[in-house]
Structure 1
């Protein structure tokens, strides 16, 4: 592979011409040596020079023809495989050695592609809850078309989550996180996005929604958390607090910061409530 890349400047768009150039140079080394010796000694013979040149060119042509004949079945196999891969068709019979070689390369490439896809998913998905992580959430926002980059951002935090771990155990804490992620995902629209922001915090994009719509949706989820709790600690259902901020598609970091400040205001207000971030830095608790 290193040699292939190192010689890519020689006819970069034609492998056959590159092979011809390499074969020509390699097979003409004796001729070059003969010319250098003849010029140095003055004993060069024109007829011998022409005869040797013709013989070298013929040898190069034969070598290139042979290499091309050996490569043709592999190219044909690659074309057939590309055409039949989606249909699950068998590889064409082009010889056991070539078929085995190409099948091995194809399996390795397929396995590598699958591993790359798994790594990509792992980098963007929270392994515990199965929803997007912080990086995946931000990449989804970046991928939105310019005319759709608006809505409301909410930062949501499970109230007194440490007590869940301390009193009920970490296994129950993991179950609560998964149940809460499912609860959020099932109660928002398909156009909205939810992600685990970190620890017991979650982020939600209410796509192209106004604050009232986002507030109403979160209030509905909060009411269900009390009526159908995902867990109970010290006789109280597990609840959440949230901060909401409008997003106009420009400064996502600033919007997230304001939503986070609204979340802390909700916690200071007694938890189990929702606060909106206002441009002036004030929050309104619901």
Structure 2
């Protein structure tokens, strides 16, 4: 494929002419080399030159005839595929063998694409919650246009989640994680990106938002969890703590480090609250 692309400037509209040019040059290399040696040394023999020229032309002709014969089925298949697009039935001109071969190749291509899609999904999606994982989150940010790579990032941690696992079991813990992911994804905007960051931590990118807007959005989700809890621990609705940092397209690690520091402040301040990067705290 790389060689095909590299030679595309040679007769770009005709594969046959491109092959002719390549064969002509390749088969005439010995003749060119002989001429160069002869002119350099002054020892060109007319008989040898004529013999070499005749054999080179014959070799070129044989190569072109062979390549033309090899290309004929491919062109026939291409013509048949073109006819299939304009008027079924498919591939009536190329015979059962080529039609069966084409169908097998198509099935293999479909299967391969399906496997690629599955691998991509497995690599970028959290299997428990169904939302993006950390890799998928970062890939989604990388895919954004430069003018959309600004807003706020937030790291969210479910409060006292270890107690859910210890007191109610890991199955209940998994249910809480899945329910929280569903609630979080449903209550942010479509333009925002939500992911499970790891364990009981989640990440959100609020696109084109300032800290006030991101804080208000998380405060609304926190209030919803109190009024319609996804679970309880020690008789209290399961809540979350969050840290928010502004991001304007610079190093993403710096923004997440600041958000993580704000999350730590929220936990130290008693949990169930939202903190912004910096000294100020905003209760949920």
Q: Secondary structure at the match of 1:110?
A: helix
Once the two structures are superposed, what CA deviation does each residue of 1:22-49 show, in whole Å capped at 9, x if it has no partner? 9969xx9xxxxxxxxxxxxxxxxx6xx9
Matched with 1:120 is 120
Give the TM-score normalised by structure 2.
Answer: 0.76
Q: How does 1:29-108 map to 2 (within 5 A)?
A: 57=57, 61=61, 64-78=64-78, 81=81, 90-108=90-108
In the TM superposition, residue 61 of structure 1 has moved relative to its aligned partner by 3.0
Task: Judge conservation of contact 2:155–2:204 (CA < 8 Å) in 1.
Answer: yes
- Moved >6 Å (runs of 4+): 4-12, 49-53, 85-89
In the TM superposition, residue 143 of structure 1 has moved relative to its aligned partner by 2.3
Structure 1 residues not aligned, in runs of 5+: 29-45
Give the TM-score normalised by structure 1.
Answer: 0.76
Distance 2:198 2:52 in 1: 75
Matched with 1:151 is 151
Distance 1:89 1:252 in 2: 54
In the TM superposition, residue 142 of structure 1 has moved relative to its aligned partner by 2.2
Distance 2:84 2:166 in 1: 57
Task: Judge conservation of contact 1:16–1:68 (CA < 8 Å) in 2.
Answer: no
Distance 1:86 1:181 in 2: 48
Question: Bigger CA drift: 62-71 or 196-205?
Answer: 62-71
Structure 2 residues not aligned, in runs of 5+: 31-46
Matched with 1:130 is 130
Matched with 1:235 is 235
1:16 to 2:16 alignment: no
**RMSD over equivalenced CA pairs, Å:** 3.6
1:184 to 2:184 alignment: yes
In the TM superposition, residue 201 of structure 1 has moved relative to its aligned partner by 0.5
Matched with 1:36 is none
Aligned residues: 262
